[in-house]
Amino acid sequence: MTTATPYRLLLTDLRSDTLLDALPVQGVGLDDYIGKTGRLTGTVPIPNRGIAERARRALVPGRTGLWVERGREIWWGGILWTLNLASNDRGFLGAQIQAGGWESYLYRRLLYDTLLAEQVDQFDIVRELVDYVQTTPGGNVGITYDDHVSGVLRDRTFLRYDHNSIGDLLDQLAATERGFEWRVASYRDGDGRRVKRLQLGHPVIRSGAADIVLTHPGAVLSYNWPTDATLKANGWQSRGASINANQAADSYPLTSPVLVDTADIAAGWPRVDGSSDYTTVEQQATLDGHARADWTAARTPVQIPEVTVLLGGNITPALLGSTVRLRIRDLWHPQTLDARYRVVGMSISPPERGRPETAQLILEVP
């Protein structure tokens, strides 16, 4: 990356968000997703002893929070997890860093207590789990949330013996029938304060009011449109926890009914089976809900379109959850493809010699 990098790192104490330093970063690669933890990589150049001392104090893996500024806007936030000090054959020194989004912290916290929920809105269960993390000594990393509800009530028992991570529990709860999406967004509020905000959306996270139109040829520089049937299944069964209380007898797991899409088979598709395991689920209704959700997701070959566009203008990380209108006309699409897709991921590539700064948008097929 050139020295005229548009990015700057704000380095903070993870727990208090106290600003420790602000340093330039080169070779930035960052991505952000709905349903997956984002990642940042880059190199903090170390040109002199003064910068070396500042970086040594501020870049502490596992303890330092990172906010990425582009201009005056916050484009990404997360936790520094690894640091590699590297010197090349010309003597240039750099601190290579890797960070995970704020969500990564929730996967590093385990549930050591049993939590019960009876007919509780699923969003309130999420907030209870996040409160569990942030009310333990040393656990408050400043994740905030609002109090809106989804309207879907759940019964859940989370046992302390299972040692599940909080992130995994959130994913499992989100993936059930009539579930939701979650992420932790980074931005500045109206008063200029840095915010880590838990976003919850039922059934999905949506943002933005007006569609952004992307065309190829045009604003879309290139695209990939994979279709993957390796995970397609029109027959399905899920397995839960062992239901045998007699340890002297054989143990068998709780199972859902076998679900078969007869219409899919009648339409000419071959029978293909799949399964999923929920080893901590002990309630039949809960397991059946997971099975139906997994079966629904598995019945259609996976399509995850990716389009590459120039960065800037309306193309910012705030686009996550927004709808774009994609128009493609080429040999594969002699009749112009004209459809709306939701942006569920974004990967930013820095400018290189002869190539501009670009963003790869990961789209959800309706």
Model confidence pLDDT, tens digit, residues 57-115: 999 999 999 999 988 899 999 999 999 999 988 889 999 999 999 999 999 999 999 99
Average pLDDT, the chain: 93
- Residues 224-269: tens digit of each pLDDT: 999 999 999 999 999 998 876 666 667 789 999 999 999 999 999 9
Mean pLDDT value of segment 150-171: 95
Q: What is the pLDDT of residue 128?
A: 98
- 3-state SS track over 254-281: EECCCEECHHHHHCCCCCCEEEEECCCC
- Residues 96 and 19 placed together within one structural domain of the fold: yes
**What does the pLDDT read at residue 2?**
41
- What's the pLDDT score for residue 1? 36
pLDDT at 211 over 90: no
User: Taking the chain, what is the end-to-end CA distance rounded to the nearest angstrom?
Assistant: 37
**Is the Cβ–Cβ distance between 121 and 151 less than 8 Å?**
yes
pLDDT at 243: 75
This prediction has a pTM of 0.90
The answer to whether residue 147 is domain-embedded is yes
Domain count, the chain: 4
Give residue 334's Cα distance to chain centre: 35
With residue 298 as reference, give the H or E element that holds it: helix 284-298
Last residue of a domain, one of 52, 79, 101: 101
Res 5 pLDDT > 80: no
What CATH number has the domain bearing residue 309? Answer: 2.40.450
Of 73, 54, 182, which is closest to residue 123 (Cα–Cα)? 182
Residue 229: count other Cβ atoms within 10 Å of its Cβ: 11
Q: Which segment, 67-71, 108-112, 160-164, 355-359, is predicted with the most confidence on average?
A: 108-112
- Mark whether 320 and 219 lie in a shared domain: yes
For residue 207, being part of any structural domain is answered with no
Query: Is residue 157 located within the same domain as residue 181?
Result: yes
DSSP E strands, 202-316: 212-216, 220-224, 227-228, 235-242, 253-255, 259-260, 273-277, 302-303, 306-310
Confidence of residue 164 (pLDDT cuts 50, 70, 90): very high
Length of the chain measured in residues: 366
How does residue 3 score in pLDDT terms, banded at 50, 70 and 90? very low
277 part of a folded domain = yes
CATH number at residue 140: 3.55.50
Give the domain extent around 333: 212-226+304-364
Asked if the structure places residue 2 within a domain, the reply is no
Helix count and strand count (H, E) for the chain: 6, 24
75 and 190 housed in the same domain: no
